[in-house]
């Protein structure tokens, strides 16, 4: 997987499985309300090394074109059902939601904007005791750590400090991801129970955010909003079935990665990011506050 920049487990599997079968990986494809879903379970250390991903479950949902989704209630329920499969035998009451990224850079603003649509309730326990007593609401906090270049603090350090004070039983991390091609750019949601390394898909890997580093369960959610130019060129060669794809890819790497590489996004990124953030925020709310209907959730956030 060297120099094939992607945060998506499904793309890692596609790239490797063209050459050989993968032992230690279970894959399932199915549909829910017209949305195609791929579930990948990485079971062994060897499979994890081959795919450059941690052991765990990765679920991707194909949105096809997020701007063409007329009613977000349906996709919100689809995402909620898949989130519930990541920790099927666990119940979470105290949750920390983390919006990773830079609000001032649109392709990287998915995490911070998603927290704007997240129903934060920790401060409401005294005002609405019956909602918590009757398990209509759970205790939810949210932070936006910012980026190292602005704060001088690693995201993992900020999250760990919050975890030590709040003591959540689940941390949900939302981040913009990198894809290896144009097909899934802004149109694929990935969720996993393995945590993540911010910036890993674009070669700017930061400290790992996982159960190993935080001491509590971590659920990561992301959408690819960028791909690097060298990897995009490789993807285009794949699409046209170029026979010399591998030798071309080496030339592309030498020309772009060695000196200057570029990150590519889409023209409609501003509109897309807002809609994706709302979809993810509402899905998280439905997952965390099961006693609330979709309409009640909307009224809380209005």
- The model's pLDDT over 138-164, given as tens digits with 9 standing for 90+, comes to 999 999 998 888 899 999 999 999 999
CB atoms inside a 10 Å sphere around CB 113: 22
pTM: 0.88
**Distance separating the N- and C-terminal Cα atoms of the chain:** 45
Q: Are 211 and 220 in contact (CB under 8 A)?
A: no
Give the domain CATH number at 124.
Answer: 3.40.50.1450
Beta strands in the chain (DSSP E): 25-32, 35-42, 56-62, 94-99, 139-143, 170-178, 188-192, 217-228, 263-264
The reply to whether 222 falls in a domain is yes
CB atoms inside a 10 Å sphere around CB 213: 15
In this predicted structure, what is the pLDDT of residue 181?
A: 74
As a whole number of angstroms, the distance between CA 246 and CA 241 comes to: 11
Q: What pLDDT digit, counting tens, does each position of 27-79 carry?
A: 999 999 999 999 999 999 999 988 888 999 999 999 989 999 988 999 999 99
Length of the chain: 302
The reply to whether 37 falls in a domain is yes
The reply to whether 142 falls in a domain is yes
As a whole number of angstroms, the distance between CA 99 and CA 145 comes to: 7
Buried b vs exposed e over 88-110: b needs ≥16 C-beta within 10 Å?
eeeebeebbbbbbbbbeebbbbb
In this predicted structure, what is the pLDDT of residue 289?
A: 95
The reply to whether 289 falls in a domain is yes
The reply to whether 87 falls in a domain is yes
Nearest to 171 by CA among 81, 87, 52: 87
State the average pLDDT for the chain: 87
The reply to whether 3 falls in a domain is no
The number of distinct structural domains making up the chain is: 1
Nearest to 7 by CA among 143, 227, 196, 177: 177
* Domain span holding position 160: 9-301
């Amino acid at each position: 997987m060297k120099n094939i920049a992607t945060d998506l487990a499904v793309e890692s599997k596609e790239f490797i499985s063209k050459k050989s079968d993968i032992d230690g990986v279970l894959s399932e494809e199915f549909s829910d309300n017209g949305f195609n879903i791929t579930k990948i379970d990485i079971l062994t250390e060897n499979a994890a090394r081959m795919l450059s991903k941690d052991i765990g479950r990765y679920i991707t949902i194909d949105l096809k074109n997020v701007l063409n989704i007329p009613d977000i209630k349906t996709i919100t329920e689809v995402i909620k059902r898949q989130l519930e499969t990541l920790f099927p035998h666990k119940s979470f009451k105290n949750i920390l939601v983390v919006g990773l990224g830079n609000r001032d850079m649109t392709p990287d603003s998915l995490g911070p904007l998603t927290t704007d649509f997240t129903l934060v309730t920790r401060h409401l326990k005294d005002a609405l005791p019956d909602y918590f007593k009757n398990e209509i609401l759970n205790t939810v906090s949210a932070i936006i750590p910012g980026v190292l270049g602005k704060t001088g603090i690693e995201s993992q350090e900020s999250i760990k400090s919050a975890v030590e004070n709040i003591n959540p039983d689940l941390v949900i991390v939302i981040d913009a991801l990198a894809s290896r091609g144009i097909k899934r750019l802004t149109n694929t949601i990935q969720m996993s129970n393995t945590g993540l390394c911010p910036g890993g898909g674009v070669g700017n890997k930061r400290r790992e955010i996982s159960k190993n580093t935080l001491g509590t369960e971590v659920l990561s959610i992301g959408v690819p909003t960028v791909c690097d130019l060298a990897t995009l060129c490789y993807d285009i060669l794949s699409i046209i079935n170029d026979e010399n794809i591998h030798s071309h890819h080496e030339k592309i790497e030498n020309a772009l990665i060695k000196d200057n590489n570029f990150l590519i996004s889409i023209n409609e990124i501003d509109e897309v990011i807002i809609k994706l953030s709302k979809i993810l925020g509402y899905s998280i709310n439905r997952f965390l506050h099961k006693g609330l209907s979709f309409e009640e959730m909307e009224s809380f956030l209005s």
